[in-house]
Amino acid sequence: MGLRIKKGDRVRVLSGKDRGKEGNVTRVLPKENKVIVDGVNVAKKHQKPTRNTMQGGIIDKDMPVPASNVAVLCPKGHPTRIGYDFNADGTKRRVCRKCGGDL
């Protein structure tokens, strides 16, 4: 089973130091079963001076979190699991397992 979460999904963190935080998925790492969420699991990274900036500094970097630690938020506002359903033409669509609405 691959990752059902997609880039751009809005998710809520279920565990860890960022529990309860919400953000948008900016990157999906299917091989590691991880996602990168905007503003979640932020690490301070030291940046070396570059020719352009001429100075180093500390930057915030979003680090990956296990996909199992986040829940997708339904457009109606509740965290849910992603299910699949089929359209009349046979194409697949993602649905909210709680309310059945489109995700």
Burial of residue 84 (CB within 10 Å: 0-12, 13-18, 19+) is: exposed
**Pick 6 or 76: Cβ nearer Zn ion:** 76
**Pick 71 or 74: Cβ nearer Zn ion:** 74
**Pick 41 or 80: Cβ nearer Zn ion:** 80
Beta strands in the chain, from DSSP E residues, in sequence order? 10-13, 22-29, 34-37, 42-47, 57-62, 65-66, 70-73, 79-80, 82-86, 92-96
Binding site for Zn ion (CB under 5 A): 74, 76, 96, 98-99, 101
Q: Considering the complex, what minimum distance in angstroms separates the CB of residue 97 from Zn ion? A: 8
**Pick 39 or 101: Cβ nearer Zn ion:** 101
Q: Considering the complex, what minimum distance in angstroms separates the CB of residue 96 from Zn ion? A: 3
Q: Considering the complex, what minimum distance in angstroms separates the CB of residue 58 from Zn ion? A: 39
Backbone dihedral angles phi then psi of residue 22, each to the nearest 5 degrees? -125, 150
